[in-house]
């Protein structure tokens, strides 16, 4: 029996059969991916919403469809797509901003490499031009001073007096919201109880109910006069 390798686990997570669904059209051939001289045409994955057939609850599954879809989203989020603004899962390394740094020249995501004899000096680098157009790297910056400045700004923002100012501002905003709600409530009450209604306008009036004193019968219940 084959062991639980990473590729095998991913195949299981992506297989809708484990969610009790029968599907058809998960992959299709893509002639543009065919290499010269190759004897077959490669296939590419098809998005779930484009599957030709997708019958949920066709049989008993190990997980539900909602959990299956949540797994697909998590797997997609774990991929590193820097150019699309998706940093993926956190990776090993000492850099503080890996996957977060944006190039100040071209506005694209910067990658990360480690320099030094022991590969312990992180460097943020923008390689989009090199990777896509065989051009020189846009720029690269040593990560340690950048990370230190970000740490300083973060700690400065978390100083007690700044936190107190933020809380005070939030309290003021909440009080303004409460005052607005009270004013709006008073306006609605005045609109409901306004005696003179201009022609052409509609105002909801609160009905008043007059109860007669009534009498108590022998069963201890109140009988109302008609």
- Region 117-122: mean pLDDT is 83
* Residue 4, pLDDT score: 61
Q: What is the pLDDT of residues 48-103, one digit of tens each?
A: 999 999 999 898 888 999 999 999 888 887 776 555 555 555 556 678 887 778 88
- Number of C-alpha atoms within 13 angstroms, CB side, residue 11? 6
* Residue 204, pLDDT score: 47
Tokens 């296939």 correspond to what residue? 43
* Residue 88, pLDDT score: 56
* Residue 178, pLDDT score: 79
* Residue 206, pLDDT score: 45
* Residue 7, pLDDT score: 75
Q: What is the pLDDT of residues 134-174, one digit of tens each?
A: 788 888 889 888 988 988 888 887 777 766 776 777 777 77
In the predicted model, is pLDDT for residue 1 greater than 50?
A: no
Q: What is the pLDDT of residues 180-204, one digit of tens each?
A: 778 877 877 777 665 555 555 444 4
* Residue 56, pLDDT score: 92
Rg (CA), the chain: 33
* Residue 205, pLDDT score: 46
SS3 170: helix
Angle among Cα 63, 69, 70 to the nearest 5 degrees reads: 90
* Average pLDDT, rounded, for the chain: 75
Backbone φ and ψ for 195, nearest 5 degrees, come out as -70, -40
121 or 4: which carries more pLDDT confidence? 121
User: What's the residue count for the chain?
Assistant: 226
DSSP-derived secondary structure for 111-162: EEEEETTTT-EEEEEE-HHHHHHSPPPSEEEEHHHHHHHHHHHHHHHTSHHH
Backbone φ and ψ for 132, nearest 5 degrees, come out as -100, -30
Q: Are 61 and 20 in contact (CB under 8 A)?
A: yes
118 or 49: which carries more pLDDT confidence? 49
SS3 66: helix
- Number of C-alpha atoms within 13 angstroms, CB side, residue 21? 22
* Residue 193, pLDDT score: 65
Angle between helix axes 6-14 and 65-77 (nearest 10 degrees) is 130
63 or 39: which carries more pLDDT confidence? 63
Tell me whether residue 80 is exposed, middle or buried, using C-beta atoms within 10 angstroms of its C-beta: 0 to 12, 13 to 18, 19 or more. middle
* Residue 207, pLDDT score: 47
In the chain, count of helices (H) and strands (E)?
5, 9
């Amino acid at each position: 029996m084959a062991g639980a390798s990473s590729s095998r686990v991913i195949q299981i997570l992506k297989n809708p059969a484990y969610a009790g669904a029968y599907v058809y059209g998960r992959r299709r051939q893509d002639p543009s991916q065919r290499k010269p001289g190759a004897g077959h045409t490669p296939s590419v994955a098809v998005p779930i919403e484009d599957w030709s057939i997708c019958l949920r609850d066709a049989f008993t599954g190990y997980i539900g469809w909602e959990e299956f879809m949540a797994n697909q989203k998590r797997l997609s989020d774990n991929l590193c797509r820097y150019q699309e603004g998706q940093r993926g899962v956190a990776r090993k390394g000492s850099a503080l901003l890996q996957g977060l740094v944006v190039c100040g020249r071209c506005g694209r995501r910067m990658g990360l490499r480690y320099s030094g004899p022991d590969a312990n000096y992180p460097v943020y680098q923008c390689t989009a031009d090199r990777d896509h157009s065989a051009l020189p790297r846009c720029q690269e910056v040593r990560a340690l001073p950048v990370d230190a400045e970000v740490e300083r700004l973060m700690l400065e923002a978390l100083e007690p007096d700044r936190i107190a100012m933020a809380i005070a501002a939030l309290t003021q905003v909440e009080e303004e919201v409460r005052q607005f709600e009270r004013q709006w409530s008073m306006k609605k009450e005045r609109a409901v109880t306004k005696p003179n209604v201009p022609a052409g306008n509609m105002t909801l009036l609160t009905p008043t109910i007059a109860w007669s004193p009534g009498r108590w019968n022998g069963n201890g219940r109140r009988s109302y006069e008609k």
